[in-house]
Amino acid sequence: MELAGVALTSLVGRDDLLGSLAGAVRRGTRLISLSGAGGVGKTRLALELVHHVADEFDLSAVVYLADLNPGEDATTAIGQSIVTALGVTDHQSRRGAVEVLLDHLQGKRVLLVLDNAEHLLDPVADMVIALLTEVPQLSVVTTTRHRLDLPPERVVAVPPVTIPEANATPEQARGSQAVELLLDRAAATGSPAIPESGAAWDAVVELARWSGGLPLVIELIAAQMSVLGPEKTLQRLDGGRLLATRTRRAQPHHRTLTRALDVSWDLCSPEQRRLWARLAVFSGGFDLEAAEEVCGDGGGDEVLALLADLVRHSVVVVGGDGRYQQLQPLRGYGLRHLDAFGETDALREKHCHWVRRLVATCAVEWFGPDELTWLARIHRELPNIRAAVNWCVATRTVQIGLGIVADVVRTRVHFFAALQSTVRAWADDLLSVEPAEPTQPRMAAHAALAFTLIAIGDKERGDYHLDQCRAVAQRLGIESAPPVLFAEGLHLVLSRGDTAGLALLRQARDGFRAIGAPGDGQMAALLLSVGAGLLGATEIADAASADCLADAERHNSPWARTWALWTHGLPALSQPKYVLHECLPALIEMGDRWGCTWTIEASAWWRARIGEPEDAARLLGGCIGLHQRHGVGLSGLVPFQRQREQAERRIVAAIGEAAFRAAYTDGTRLATEEVYDLALRPFDTSESEDVRTGVIASPLTAAERKVAELVAAGLSNGRIAEELYVSKRTVETHVGRMLAKLHFTNRTQLATWYGNRGSSHR
């Protein structure tokens, strides 16, 4: 996750080093490791480096690794963290994170910072080598106390800032970076200006020397000075030794940091200390409401007041968005004291239940005007969600963990943020902890995974989880539960292209709504509309799309409305509408690359249908580029493949194979914005009303018109053959030709068209 917005101290004394690092990455240095003691400012320097040179790279990101656990899945977790930080979306891909990254980063100049890598040296080294080998314009910067020991590694030691010499004059002392930084941070905390003479000034100089030049220690000292003043702060830090001992050497860095933390701890009241320790259970930050729920004792505004105190002590920092965070050394210090208080298990449990309630609330309430806010909230809390799931695995509280995973899937954040592999790994860890006892959380987790895997075209693993879902549901006697029907219907529609799944999706939709799960009902309604709109069930498609859109508009849900409107342009509707100009800009603005790719794909089908074969071919080619850049694969979705193949046949029939291939190849070269512009270009509506409604009125022969009339009357092919005294095969040939001419997929569309317009051709 990116930390570029967190600047904890002034950047003093790093200009030369920053300039050297910026020059190195500009020249294409592949791997730089910033090493140094804890608190020396490695992270701060890396953040400033990214800000300094980001405009010169196609992509840049900072990936914070401190909250990741070492173990068998560390490489996967690192890869997924990089994918998320870079904003790479792989909404419908079965590929691993490394494969996604290698594909997405090709041809781009990329700067990647991996922060706090020392506890993951082997998996980080494996990931770095894999990326550097395959991505020639990638530069990686790590912050770590220990080098990676890789051949291309350039180790840059980040030194402490300079400290004043013993007996330095005020002018000399002011020239040291430690004094400059200490005075700057003290002023920021509200400490009064200090005259350059007397005991207070001497204490400032001695504090700067005592800090060893560690910026984090200087930050803590500045906060302590605002409470105690320079002299008492020095006494607390120095164990009672006074200014006469100026000739002593600076303490070793680890002792200096520990002692600075000890003094900060001592300066806190018992209530502040307890909150410091309790807040350490959060991963990746927290907001006030979370702190109150997890760390409070029900005492009204006590947490707010104590949290403000901890901010003044520089124990907690506040971002521009009002979110709180503890630096890793302070968080680790707090966790040790939480153990000493004997509260670790209780606080971990409270944290887990807070996560459980958060995702459950989002799963129910996302369907509404705050939909995008909820998605952002869940995405922001992913480190806390991961910590809660890991705690459930460690303590074997599997049912709670499975409930968390299932509700994360219900929010759909894993599609927006390319987290399918992460969510699947969480579920796999939980499902492997204990024997598969039949429980509703286990059934819901299997159903959620089946939904995810089927939707991304992973048939094998999707079928496995669907089978497990069925088995658990059968043992519980709830085979007709909405989640089971939803997974069953989706499997039939998307994996097999079978319209029999539509009835199951309709039952799932109605079942979800009946039990008060409107968001789940909307997803079932959407996929019912998609399936019917692609598979040719005209009457079902018309009704399902109308219901889906009306439901989204009733709930004023922006993403849901855009997708519901999208289904009105699918080919199986009796009167499909060209809604791309409304859907696509909204999807682009929301950042829904999955939706954008599906929409461009549908645009290609549409233009093939209305007689714009060259643009249709370019869009099909452009879609291949989007599939690769957005990580959205459609090859495992049978209805989508059928529509693409049909569009290709129409284009070839109109302009020939060679012209199709030329336009298609031209489309593959288009940038994403160019594909969007092509899709949004108005089409020619001057020829007929039929073009505006998406139907081409191709002329029929007299024999075809007679057959169409009887089809509209509801006669079967066999009955029509008897009526016209021809063979059934002849009738089938006529019907097939008419469907091709009119760009329809079934007899129902032909009958509807003839009933509305056919009389004018008699």
Digit-coded pLDDT (tens) for 598-622: 888 888 998 888 888 999 999 999 9
Longest dimension (CA), the chain: 120
Q: Which residue has the higher pLDDT, 579 or 341?
A: 341
Contact 456, 420 (CB under 8 A): yes
Contact 352, 388 (CB under 8 A): yes
| CA 410 to each of CA 225, 282, 364, 367: distance values in angstroms, whole numbers, following the listed order | 50, 23, 8, 11
For residue 572, tell me if it sits in a domain.
no
φ and ψ at 710, to 5 degrees?
-75, -35
- Rounded Cα distance between 144 and 330, Å, is 17
- Of all helices (H) and strands (E), which one includes residue 318? strand 317-318
Q: What percent of the chain is predicted at pLDDT more than 70?
A: 89
114/189 same-domain check: no
Instruction: Output the pLDDT for position 614.
Output: 93
For residue 664, tell me if it sits in a domain.
yes
23/137 same-domain check: yes
pLDDT at 335 over 90: yes
123/245 same-domain check: no
195/221 same-domain check: yes
Q: Would you state the torsion angle of the CA atoms of residues 662, 667, 671, 676, taken in this order, to the nearest 10 degrees?
A: 150
Which tokens belong to 751?
Answer: 């009958």
118/38 same-domain check: yes
Q: What percent of the chain is predicted at pLDDT more than 90?
A: 36
Which tokens belong to 268?
Answer: 């806190």
| CA 312 to each of CA 222, 224, 317, 545: distance values in angstroms, whole numbers, following the listed order | 10, 9, 9, 55
- Rounded Cα distance between 609 and 100, Å, is 33
pLDDT at 660 over 90: yes
pLDDT at 702 over 80: no
Q: Are strands 317-318 and 153-157 parallel, antiparallel or unpaired?
A: unpaired
Residue type, 562: T
- Rounded Cα distance between 417 and 426, Å, is 16
Q: Per-residue confidence at 252, pLDDT binned at 50, 70, 90?
A: low
Domain count, the chain: 5
For residue 564, tell me if it sits in a domain.
no
Which tokens belong to 179?
Answer: 């004094």
The CATH number given to whatever domain includes residue 100 is: 3.40.50.300
pLDDT at 244 over 60: no
Residue among 665, 376, 367, 319 at smallest CA distance from 525: 367
Burial of 461 (0-12, 13-18, 19+ CB in 10 A): middle
- Rounded Cα distance between 459 and 92, Å, is 12
Instruction: Output the pLDDT for position 758.
Output: 43
pLDDT at 698 over 90: no
35/130 same-domain check: yes
Instruction: Output the pLDDT for position 746.
Output: 78
- Of the residues 239, 267, 295, the one at which a domain ends: 267
pLDDT at 330 over 90: no
751/649 same-domain check: no
For residue 209, tell me if it sits in a domain.
yes
- Of the residues 445, 479, 513, the one at which a domain ends: 479
The CATH number given to whatever domain includes residue 730 is: 1.10.10.10
The pLDDT tens digits for 585-603 are 888 888 777 788 888 888 8
675/716 same-domain check: no
Averaged pLDDT for residues 654-668? 93
The pLDDT tens digits for 493-549 are 999 999 999 999 999 999 999 999 999 999 999 999 999 999 877 889 999 999 999
Length of the chain: 762
For residue 621, tell me if it sits in a domain.
yes
The position carrying tokens 């095969």 is 729
Residues 6+ apart with CB under 8 A from 328: 66, 116
- Rounded Cα distance between 709 and 761, Å, is 11
Instruction: Output the pLDDT for position 299.
Output: 63
Instruction: Output the pLDDT for position 248.
Output: 40
Q: Which residue has the higher pLDDT, 138 or 226?
A: 138
60/123 same-domain check: yes
| Percent composition of the chain: helix, strand, coil (DSSP 3-state, to 5) | 65, 5, 30
121/201 same-domain check: no
Contact 207, 223 (CB under 8 A): no
Q: Would you state the torsion angle of the CA atoms of residues 117, 118, 119, 121, taken in this order, to the nearest 10 degrees?
A: 80
Residues 6+ apart with CB under 8 A from 58: 108, 109, 110
**3-class DSSP state of 156:** strand
Host domain of residue 19? 15-157
Contact 762, 717 (CB under 8 A): no
Contact 746, 572 (CB under 8 A): yes
Q: Per-residue confidence at 737, pLDDT binned at 50, 70, 90?
A: confident
Contact 526, 668 (CB under 8 A): no
pLDDT at 302 over 70: yes
Q: Per-residue confidence at 90, pLDDT binned at 50, 70, 90?
A: low
Instruction: Output the pLDDT for position 583.
Output: 87
Instruction: Output the pLDDT for position 686.
Output: 44
The pLDDT tens digits for 548-570 are 999 999 999 988 999 999 999 88
- Rounded Cα distance between 196 and 186, Å, is 15
Q: Which residue has the higher pLDDT, 437 or 390?
A: 390
Residue type, 440: Q
For residue 136, tell me if it sits in a domain.
yes
- Of the residues 653, 673, 692, the one at which a domain ends: 692
129/200 same-domain check: no
Instruction: Output the pLDDT for position 213.
Output: 84
Instruction: Output the pLDDT for position 256.
Output: 73
- Residue 129 has a CB neighbour count (10 Å cut-off) of 16
| CA 145 to each of CA 47, 82, 142, 155, 339: distance values in angstroms, whole numbers, following the listed order | 17, 20, 10, 11, 25
For residue 141, tell me if it sits in a domain.
yes
Paired strand residues for 112: 61, 140
For residue 568, tell me if it sits in a domain.
no
356/460 same-domain check: yes
- Rounded Cα distance between 333 and 314, Å, is 14
